[in-house]
Amino acid sequence: MFGYRVPAPDQAMLISGGRGGTGGSPFRVVTGHGAFVLSLFRKVRFLTLAMCEAEVEEVCVTRQAIALNIRAVIAFKVGNDEESIVNAAQRFLSDQDQMSVLTGRIFAGHLRSIIGSMTVEEIITERQKLASEVLDGSKAEMATLGLSVDSLQIQSIDDMNLGYIKAMAAPHNAAIQREAQIAQAQADRASAEAAQQSQRQQAEYARQTAVIQARYRAEIDTAQAEAAQAGPLAQAQAQREVTAAQTELAGRAAALRQQQLIAEVVRPAEAEAERVRILALADAEKMRIQAEAAASNDRVALDRMLIDQLPEIVKEAAMGLRGANVNILNGADGLSEIAAGLVSQGLSILESVKKATNSPLAGPAPEPSTTPEKIPAGPALSGPR
C-alpha cells in the first residue's frame, strides 16, 4: 500500500489527491528527493525539467517593406521554482511536447513585431540586439507559462533572392576585395623582397664560398708548387755545392799547376841562366889567365895557376846554385852526383883553358865569347812538386 517514489534529477514529481500543495496549488511538488505515496489515495505524475528546443522559421517584413526569411533557435525549460513548475504542469502535463510548439509560435510573433521596426541593415549588423529585444518581449508570456528561455540564436537571414542583401554587401565586398588585393599585393611584394633577399644572401654565401675555395686552391697550388720546386731547388743547391767544390778544386789544381810550372819551367830556367852566367865568368877568367900566361910565357906557372884556380871555379859554380830550389830525387847518390858534376864542370873549364893556352900567344888576347860552352849534364834536378 505504501510506496516510496523518487523523481529523476531532471524531473519534478507531482503528487495529487491529497490536501493540496503549498500556496494553494492543487498538487504537491517534490524535486530532488523522494516521498512516500499511498497508491490507493494518491496519484503521482512527472514533469520534465530538462532543456527543450524550439525552431522558428518565419517570413518577416522590415521597416523598409522588404520581406526576410528568418530562422532562429530557442533553448528553454520549465523554471526551477515551484510556481513555474505548477504553471507548466497545469498547461503541459498531459502533453509536454506542446511546450516547444507554443514557444515557437510565441517567438515567431515577437520576431515579426520587432523586425517590422528595424531596417535590413540593422537586422544584418545588429543580430544580438534583435535577439535581446525578442527575449525581452517574450519574457512575461514565457513566465506565465512557467517557462524560462536560456538563449535565442538567429541562424540565418535571407531576402529570398531579392538581391538586397547582396547589393548591400557589394560595397563592403568590394572594399574587402580591394583590401584583400592590397594585402595580397603587399604579401606578394614582401614575398618578392624575401625571395630577393634570399637570393642576395645565397649569392653572398656563394661568393664567400668561392673566395674561400679560391684561397684554399691558391694555398694548395702554392704548396704543390713549393713541393714541385723542392726537388729542383735541392738539386740546384747540390749542383752549386758541387760547382763550388769543383771551383775550389780547380783553384787548388791551378795553384798546384802553377807550382809545377815554377818547378818545371821557372826553376830550371833560373838554373840554366845561372849556369850560363857561371860559364861566362869562367870564360872571362880563362881569357884573363891566357892573357897573363901569354905575358909571362911561363907554361908551368900558368898550369899551376889554373890548378890553383880550379877550386874557385867550382866554388863559383856552387855559389850559383845556392839560391836555386833543388830537389834531390835519389838521396845521398843524388848529392854525390851533384858534387861530381860540379867537379866535372871545373875540370872541363880547366881543360878548355889549357887548350887555349897551347896556341901561339901572338897578337892581342881574343874577346871573351858570349856563347857559353856546354857543360856535361849533371844529375837530374827538379823544383818543388
Q: What is the pLDDT of residues 99-125, one digit of tens each?
A: 999 999 999 999 999 999 999 988 888
69 occurs within a structural domain: yes
What's phi and psi for 343, nearest 5 deg? -65, -40
Same domain, 42 and 57: no
Does a structural domain hold residue 168?
Answer: no
- In 3D space, the residue among 106, 365, 381 whose CA is nearest the CA of residue 267 turns out to be 381
Last residue of a domain, one of 138, 162, 186: 162
Determine the pLDDT at residue 53. 92
- Look up the pTM and report it: 0.43
Confidence of residue 382 (pLDDT cuts 50, 70, 90): very low
Same domain, 289 and 265: yes
Q: What is the pLDDT of residues 200-257, one digit of tens each?
A: 999 999 999 999 999 999 999 888 888 888 878 888 888 888 888 888 888 888 888 8
Tell me how far apart the alpha carbons of residues 87 and 92 are, in angstroms, rounded to a whole number: 9
Q: What's the confidence (pLDDT) of residue 254? A: 86
Q: What is the pLDDT of residues 143-162, one digit of tens each?
A: 999 899 988 888 888 888 88
How far apart CA 359 and CA 323 sit, in angstroms, is 38
Highest mean pLDDT among 111-120, 166-175, 278-287, 371-380: 111-120
Among 122, 141, 162, give the residue marking a domain's end.
162
Q: What is the domain range of residue 111? A: 53-162
Domain count, the chain: 3
Same domain, 89 and 134: yes
Q: Are residue 337 and residue 299 in the same domain, yes or no?
A: yes
User: What's residue 25's pLDDT?
Assistant: 72
Q: Across 7-21, 111-125, 267-281, which has the greatest mean pLDDT? A: 111-125
Whether 28 and 120 share a structural domain: no
* Percent of the chain residues past pLDDT 90, beyond the cut: 19
Q: Are residues 58 and 152 in the same domain?
A: yes
pLDDT level of residue 41 (50, 70, 90 thresholds) = confident
**pLDDT reported for residue 364:** 43
Q: Do 43 and 58 fall into the same domain?
A: no
* CATH (domain of 129): 3.30.479.30
pLDDT at residue 35 tops 90: no
Question: How far is it, in rounded angstroms, from Cα 4 to Cα 35?
Answer: 5
What residues does 13 pair with on adjacent strands? 30, 46
68 neighbors 157 (Cβ within 8 angstroms)? yes
Same domain for 64 and 35:
no
> Residue 337's pLDDT band (boundaries 50, 70, 90)?
low
Statement to judge: residues 29 and 102 lie in one domain: no
Same domain, 59 and 42: no
**Residue 99 within any structural domain of the chain:** yes
Angstrom distance (rounded) from CA 79 to CA 58: 27
Check whether residue 87 and residue 158 sit in a common domain.
yes
**Residues 287 and 337 occupy one common structural domain:** yes
d(C-alpha 357, C-alpha 362), whole Å: 11
The residue from 133, 162, 191 where one domain ends is: 162
Residue scoring higher pLDDT (172 or 345) = 172
Higher pLDDT, 235 or 301: 235
Is pLDDT at 271 greater than 90 in this prediction?
A: no
Tell me whether residue 191 is in a domain.
no
Q: Is residue 6 part of a domain?
A: yes
> Terminus-to-terminus CA distance in the chain, angstroms?
167
Q: Which residues of 41-73 are buried (b: 16+ CB within 10 A; e: fewer)?
A: ebebebbbbeebebebebebebeeebebebebe
Q: Quote the mean pLDDT of the chain.
A: 78
Of the pLDDT bands very low, low, confident and very high (cuts 50, 70, 90), residue 385 is very low
Residue 142 resides in a domain: yes
Question: Does residue 376 sit within a domain?
Answer: no
Asked if residue 130 belongs to a domain, the reply is: yes
